[in-house]
Amino acid sequence: MKEAEGEVPLSGGRITPDVVRVGNTVRRPVTAASEFVTELLGHLERQGFTGAPRHLGLDDSGRDIFSYLPGRVTPRFQTWSHDQVLAAGVLLRSFHEATRGSHLAEGHPVVCHNDPGPNNVVFRDDRPTALIDFDMAAPGHPLEDLGYMAWTWCASSKPQAPPARAQAAQVRILADAYGLNASDRAALIDAMLDRQARNADWWRQHLHAPDPRVASNDQILSRIAWSLREHDHTAAHRSVFEAALR
């Protein structure tokens, strides 16, 4: 899609194409999730939660308009500082608490973002300050988001990553920052493993899908393989991760 004059392509998201910045706004194609996202962002605004964009209506092309949040969105996962992991946990807890008990949670404890990786967070002064890209948001349990966050912010199977003990220490920092209770702490590593397996399954479902594609088959196969390596890494060091949470 060719961008109109004054439109700057944004490349942070991997799933929704044709996202652009126009001045102090972001324009995105309407999706099946748009109605829920619009209601969710309105609710967050009414609750005083500042860590999310505002929905501003539709433009003349029928695209969703969101407020632009200044800052940096990382293009890839990397090793984060303890302070950054702590701030991410506080941000996630604040988001969950703003949805707890709302009609949007539909009888579940909270609304989950479902993709709170570093690539969906705005950093200001190198600190996580806001969540973006709520297309996968849905009612759920906090551990669904925490398992994903513990994985994508703290753990990695890459050879150059910190050792498992250092990764486990950051999982504890995340759990402490969130204020995770004892029973949920005991279930956090299972939640990590579940999200890694679900990520592989999600990408597997998009193999050989018709256009428009979220990625090429080669890219999808690479992401499946990566998710499975991450799952194997977490499972192999499970005792180390669990010991850090006690």
> Which residue, 141, 82, 74, is CA-closest to 113?
141
Q: For the segment 112-121, what is each residue's pLDDT rounded down to a tens digit?
A: 999 999 999 9
Over residues 152-164, the pLDDT tens digits come to 999 999 999 999 9
**Distance (Å, rounded) from C-alpha 167 to C-alpha 150?**
9
On whether the CB atoms of residues 56 and 67 are closer than 8 A, the answer is: yes
Choose the CATH number for 82-244 among 3.30.420.310, 3.40.710.10, 3.90.1200.10, 3.40.600.10: 3.90.1200.10
Evaluate if residue 3 carries a pLDDT over 60.
Answer: no
Q: pLDDT: is 241 or 213 the higher one?
A: 241
Numbers of helices and strands, H then E, in the chain = 7, 9
pTM: 0.93
How confident is the model at residue 2, as a pLDDT? 44
Mean pLDDT value of segment 98-114: 97
Average pLDDT of span 81-107: 98
At 176 the pLDDT is 98
pLDDT range class, residue 9, cuts 50, 70, 90: confident
Tokens of 131: 């969540």
CA 216 vs CA 1, 69, 194: distances in Å: 18, 30, 25
Binned at pLDDT 50, 70 and 90, residue 211 comes out as confident
pLDDT in tens, 219-228: 999 999 999 9
Higher pLDDT, 139 or 214: 139
pLDDT at 181 over 50: yes
The residue-averaged pLDDT of 204-232 equals 92
